[in-house]
């Protein structure tokens, strides 16, 4: 039996773009969301800054927690984003 979209955990993910910039987002289907970014159907930012690779992701208990984490990571300087994703702190 497969999980429905409502049962999947939400996650924060970080993408490195071809120009060296980072893109952070949230989803409850990471594989499908990353594929959308790669295909040019993702966020406006990744349409103009194509993805190079998925750096990683971190699960959260619900969408609200993932959204808060997304806001927090977007406030950080670039060099601290990967550490935030890996350790959950700035």
Label each residue of 18-81 as H, E or C.
CCCCEEEEEECCHHHHHHHHHCCCCCHHHHHCCEEEEEEEEEECCHHHHHHHHHHHHHCCHHHH
**How many domains, in total, are found in the chain?**
1
pLDDT digits (tens, 9 = 90+) for 3-17: 555 678 999 999 999
5 belongs to a structural domain: no
Domain extent for 27 = 10-87
Position 1 in a domain? no
Please report whether residue 19 resides in a domain: yes
Q: How far apart are CA 46 and CA 42, in angstroms?
A: 6
**Domain with 30 in it: what CATH number?**
3.40.1440
Is the pLDDT assigned to residue 64 strictly greater than 60?
Answer: yes
Cα separation of 73 and 49, whole Å?
19
- pLDDT tens for 39-53 read 999 999 999 999 999
Specify if 76 maps to a domain: yes
Q: Do the domain assignments include residue 17?
A: yes
């Amino acid at each position: 039996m497969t999980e429905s979209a409502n049962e999947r955990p939400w996650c924060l993910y970080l993408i490195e773009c071809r120009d060296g910039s980072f893109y952070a987002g949230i989803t409850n289907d990471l594989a499908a969301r990353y594929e959308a970014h790669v295909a040019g159907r993702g966020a406006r930012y990744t349409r103009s800054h194509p993805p190079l690779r998925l750096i990683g992701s971190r699960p959260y208990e619900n969408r609200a927690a993932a959204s808060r984490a997304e806001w927090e990571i977007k406030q950080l300087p670039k060099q601290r984003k990967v550490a935030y994703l890996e350790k959950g702190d700035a």
